[in-house]
Amino acid sequence: MKLAMIGLGKMGGNMAARLLRHKIEVVGFDFNTEFVNNLVKSEGMIAASSVVDAVSKLEGQKIVWLMLPAGEITE
């Protein structure tokens, strides 16, 4: 299984790490590149440079998991 995780902050980053430890491939994107780089180095996550890039790295069935805070930016 392979999925895209959009939003790698406190909740999204921990969920991505947990999925990766259970052998689920994760393509991750966050505007904060430090979050992305940390998961690439520590867990072997596949980095994406945008939401479009993350989705394009998925084959077949596309699963996109959003872990974004509520508020103006997500509405």
User: Is pLDDT larger for residue 4 or for residue 72?
Assistant: 4
Q: What is the pLDDT of residues 5-45, one digit of tens each?
A: 999 999 999 999 999 999 999 999 999 999 999 999 999 99
CA distance 27 to 54: 6
Q: What residue type is assigned to position 25 of the chain?
A: E
Fold exhibited by the domain 2-70: Rossmann fold (3.40.50)
Report pLDDT for 73: 67
C-alpha 58, offset from chain centre: 12
Q: What residue segments make up the domains of the chain, in order of their start? A: 2-70
pLDDT exceeds 80 at position 74: no
